[in-house]
Amino acid sequence: MVAVVNRVVIGACAGLAIAVVPIGSLGVAPAAGAVAGAATLSIARRHRRQATDAYAPEGIDCAATFVPATERSES
Amino acid sequence: MNYTRPTNDSPDSTGSGGPIPVPPTQVFGDGLEAAVSFATTEHFTLQTARVATVSEANGRASIYLAALSSNLIALAFIGQMSRLGAAFYAFALILLPVLAFVGVVTFQRLVQSSIEDIAYAQRVARLRAFYLDVAPELEEFLLVVRGPRAEAPLHHESLRPSAWQLTLTRRAWSRS
């Protein structure tokens, strides 16, 4: 849901940025916003797919900080 | 340790050979009680970690949506005040990129926490398999998916959540 909402935000941002530039046609800004939004959603989907492909059950342990086992004193 | 868990997809379950499972009572011996205690403690720890990932995802998504809502209200005020003039555009072009950045990092973290949640769920499933090895009578009460089928939802395209799942759930991957 966050990705879909953020896509709209980025599209609006791009549309506003284009609207500031004096361009004759009124349709350029919405079109640019739509393109930016679609590209954002596509990137989000690809990122999610790559993240799940790179998943390994041991990943969390690899990212954790391991404390080396203490050596037993010879008694 | 030569302990081999039986799997639904392993050759021995079909009776055609393969590794022969050793009962946990033989593997652990007198330490079986301690092993079950360790497994139970780990189960609760993993369940707590899963709850933490869910609550973190909810919190992050709520913060993002609250920021978006307040941003839109502020934009409406400034648009009304400046009659959609230069001040409105300047205000929007400062606030919206910041909000977009917050959204991107929120999404990245939601993907991470979703994968953590899946990892914890898989570990809980392994512990359930251990419970079944210790007490096979529980099989009708515990649902355990073993073997390659357990990893299928992550690595097979047809079993993955669809792209529509991005819209349906607050989190990025799972169904919560």
ipTM, two decimals, is 0.75
Q: Mapping DSSP to helix (H, G, I), strand (E, B) and coil, where does residue A18 land?
A: helix
- Select from B92, B104, B115 the Cβ nearest to the Cβ of A51: B115
Six token digits for residue B105: 């990092």
Please answer whether residues B100 and B22 qualify as being in contact, where contact means their C-beta atoms are separated by less than 8 angstroms.
no
pLDDT of residue B105 exceeding 80, the answer is: yes
Say what the pLDDT of residue A66 is.
60
Of B79, B166, B135, which Cα lies nearest the Cα of A6?
B166
Six token digits for residue B51: 């709850």
Q: Report the 10 Å Cβ neighbour count for B175.
A: 9
Interface probe, candidates A1, A4, A21, A60, chain B, greatest B C-beta count within 10 A: A1
* Distance between start and end Cα atoms, chain B: 38
Which residues in chain A are closer than 8 Å to B100, comparing Cβ atoms? 6, 9-10, 13
Kindly identify which residue of chain A lies nearest to residue B122, measuring between CA atoms: A57
Alpha-carbon distances, residue B145 vs B5, B9, B67, B156 (angstroms): 13, 10, 41, 16
Where b means 16+ CB within 10 Å and e means fewer, B55-82 reads ebbeebbeebbebbeebeeebeebbeee
pLDDT of residue B125 exceeding 90, the answer is: no
Please answer whether residues B78 and B88 qualify as being in contact, where contact means their C-beta atoms are separated by less than 8 angstroms.
yes
Please answer whether residues B171 and B113 qualify as being in contact, where contact means their C-beta atoms are separated by less than 8 angstroms.
yes
* pLDDT tens figures, A10-62: 999 999 898 888 776 778 888 989 999 999 888 988 888 888 777 776 666 66
Q: What amino acid is encoded at A58 in this protein?
A: E
Say what the pLDDT of residue B156 is.
55
Q: Mapping DSSP to helix (H, G, I), strand (E, B) and coil, where does residue B83 land?
A: coil
Give B114's contacts (C-beta < 8 A, 6+ positions apart): B53, B57, B171, B172, B173, B174
Q: Do A20 and B163 touch (CB under 8 A)?
A: no
Q: Mapping DSSP to helix (H, G, I), strand (E, B) and coil, where does residue B104 land?
A: helix
Most trustworthy range by pLDDT among A26-35, B102-111, B149-158: B102-111
